[in-house]
Structure 1
């Protein structure tokens, strides 16, 4: 291959570019990014950046030395608008084109928006650095009434940050509990209590009917008829993979770019990684997927066929109201849950998810060391007999401590 183009200049795209050079590709490397920013770390946007504990320079994922080593052509502030596979040509929204021998799709996902809210001031999403800048500025005033729609990770973390800044925060979740699909009812209830402990009101089991306001939002009307006064509304109702530009390209699309277990699409010269990739039937919007998939994807791209596959143990974490939630494995409805360390009412805990006599997942709140050990064992063994549990010794209660992986 003489030219490889990476479409998407965030975490997954950067890791793909690094892997291309690390695996010996010395040809022309083009990186196309819709945002005008160099790659930056997204997880801190809803946490340290929003609260002012981190500045933009601390979000940067590259420096001038690494950029020189990558020797890439950066086309930032440029959106891909189409792909012509036969001509191996990437079409750009500025009218330009890139002829390429290989393509890495890393266009990520965009925040879902509430219908009918375009042009209504005071309504925010939080996905990009520009989103975070706007929300941080809006929160600079004192005593704002903030309604967060959606109790998932982004919603919960944003609510936590707003509460820590002294604002009046209400979280609205349509499901009976936040994080119910990810954690199951028992542990979702435990984590839901963090909102109340952190000073935010949590309303569950009802959706949003409409927003009120003329020009600027003033309230959120719920499906049950209640109206919540609001100076700011943050919409955290999930994300949509950025695949619209691939319409008509012949690449199969279904909630992402369809790939085999090696991140290879129906075209062997095209791979996909990160939030936009549906790998082996699953699309995982997690930091670890964006960092682990590129090594396999690039290896297969350079080989011209699938010679390696990726089946990492799913892992996510979330920092909310001073607590760190960590989960590894897979939860399904009906799984049993067993607390093996600490208490769900105070001081943090670690628990195991079990199904048909096997350990399938591990969840921890404020138990980073025990969790990392249990996660390693789960990844190494795949699954353990439930009667044996995982081979680690519980530790005494300890305060939350930083771990090596950024959150």
Structure 2
């Protein structure tokens, strides 16, 4: 069985920092990071792939920091954590034992299953995997009318960036203002003014009743009866912990 002192599951921001800081603090220990993707996206840079960068390759976290710190990097998938025996099972590398374990599996997008049509073609939650994002970029290039549902950081940044391409962009937020969880009303009003000046149709205090279309999205239907043409929709309704592996292992979680 392969062995390591510290095993970190997850190779994005949290996992990278945990692994490199462990090597810095305890330089003589073996640290191993397991992640399930060849390359890792800069999480906060993802919206900027679609307007400013135009290429996922320009939004990659280099592996040099990990490898330069002497961290072992494995591209693999952990299928289970055996806590009592202190080892994990993986798809490609068999069982790996550890002395200490850090679960840094990050977050995943909230999927609004309460909105009919959330699963139509060309309706995209914001997953962080590079191949997925490349497909969204390709689909976006062919779209003309784009609706972004959710006026938090993800939605606002996507709306601003997609508008740079000359697309017709509608930003839909249920609350009375965008970014209401982070800023006061004065800031939000100024932000919305800037978005509108740049050509984004900002619809606050607006509920989506369904996403409509035959197979692929054709419009976003609002609770007040209006219909917004859309051939692509970004779902920016926030993120939640990617905690399935930890839950299966019996770790305590905050609900």
- TM value normalised by structure 2: 0.88
Shift of 1:98: 2.1
The aligned counterpart of 2:139 is: 138
Give the counterpart of 1:20 among 18, 22, 28.
22
**Alignment of structure 1 residues 103-182 onto 2, 5 Å:** 103-115=101-113, 117=117, 120-128=120-128, 129-141=130-142, 144-182=144-182
The aligned counterpart of 1:70 is: 69
Residue 75 of structure 1 aligns to a residue whose secondary structure is: strand
> Could you tell me how far apart the structure 2 residues matched to 1:46 and 1:22 are?
32
Farther-moved stretch of structure 1 (101-110 vs 166-175): 101-110
Shift of 1:2: 5.1
List per-residue Cα deviations over 1:62-92 (Å, max 9, x = no partner).
255x4543343333252x3432222112233
> Could you tell me how far apart the structure 2 residues matched to 1:2 and 1:86 are?
16
The aligned counterpart of 1:242 is: 242
The aligned counterpart of 2:33 is: 31
> Could you tell me how far apart the structure 2 residues matched to 1:139 and 1:17 are?
36
**Alignment of structure 1 residues 183-198 onto 2, 5 Å:** 183-198=183-198
Residues 1:5 and 2:7 aligned together: yes
Between 1 and 2, higher relative CO (CA 8 Å, sep ≥ 6) is seen in 2
Distance change in 2, residues 1:63/1:244 (3 Å): closer
Distance change in 2, residues 1:46/1:18 (3 Å): same
List per-residue Cα deviations over 1:194-214 (Å, max 9, x = no partner).
221110101111221111112
> Could you tell me how far apart the structure 2 residues matched to 1:93 and 1:192 are?
47
The aligned counterpart of 1:96 is: 94
The aligned counterpart of 2:85 is: 87
Shift of 1:241: 0.3
> Could you tell me how far apart the structure 2 residues matched to 1:237 and 1:33 are?
25
The aligned counterpart of 1:200 is: 200
CA contact (8 A) 2:76 2:92 kept: no
Distance change in 2, residues 1:41/1:210 (3 Å): same
List per-residue Cα deviations over 1:101-135 (Å, max 9, x = no partner).
11122111001123254652111122413343122
Unmatched segments (≥5 aa) in structure 1: 256-407
CA contact (8 A) 1:125 1:131 kept: no
The aligned counterpart of 1:59 is: 59
The aligned counterpart of 1:44 is: 45
Superposed CA RMSD:
2.3
> Could you tell me how far apart the structure 1 residues matched to 2:171 and 2:84 are?
49
Residue 62 of structure 2 aligns to a residue whose secondary structure is: coil
> Could you tell me how far apart the structure 2 residues matched to 1:77 and 1:91 are?
10
Q: Which one has the largest radius of gyration?
A: 1
Question: Number of paired residues?
Answer: 250
CA contact (8 A) 2:76 2:90 kept: no
Residue 141 of structure 2 aligns to a residue whose secondary structure is: coil
Farther-moved stretch of structure 1 (178-187 vs 67-76): 67-76
> Could you tell me how far apart the structure 2 residues matched to 1:225 and 1:131 are?
33
Residue 183 of structure 2 aligns to a residue whose secondary structure is: helix
